[in-house]
Amino acid sequence: MTKKSMEDIRAIIDPEGWLRTLREYKVSLEGNLATVFLDYDMTKATPEMGTKARGAALTRSESQIRDCEWRLGEIQNRIDGAADGATGRAGRRARARG
């Protein structure tokens, strides 16, 4: 039996369902980003943590914030691409323009 590629499997997904899920995931990530920022601010202000522990926690939070921001941008590119009729095409054009 031939192993299906990820693209073959992805083709099974209903395009409207894919787009709806992207939008729902984007809203969820925006909420997660707000939560991570709140945690970052609270960690920065808490007197209960030592300097070393606080630095490590802030570094982890910064990494999560940057990852969420990147994911939000990628999701928006895919939403834009789906709106153009081809998932990812609009995002690739935007990146090519610089």
Task: State the pLDDT confidence band at 93, using cuts at 50, 70 and 90.
Answer: low
- Greatest mean pLDDT among 9-13, 52-56, 78-82 lies in 52-56
4 in a structural domain: no
Q: How many domains does the chain have?
A: 1
- Domain membership of residue 44 (yes or no) is yes
Residue 91 is assigned to a structural domain of this protein:
yes
What pLDDT band is residue 95 in, cutting at 50, 70 and 90? Answer: confident
For residue 83, give both structure tokens. Answer: 């709106």
For the cut 80, the answer to whether the pLDDT of residue 21 exceeds it is: yes
Residues 36 and 62 sit within 8 Å (Cβ to Cβ) = no
| pTM (predicted TM-score) | 0.69
Return the higher-pLDDT residue of 85 and 77: 77
Does the pLDDT of residue 85 top 70, yes or no?
Answer: no
Angle separating helix axes 89-97 and 51-83, nearest 10 degrees: 110
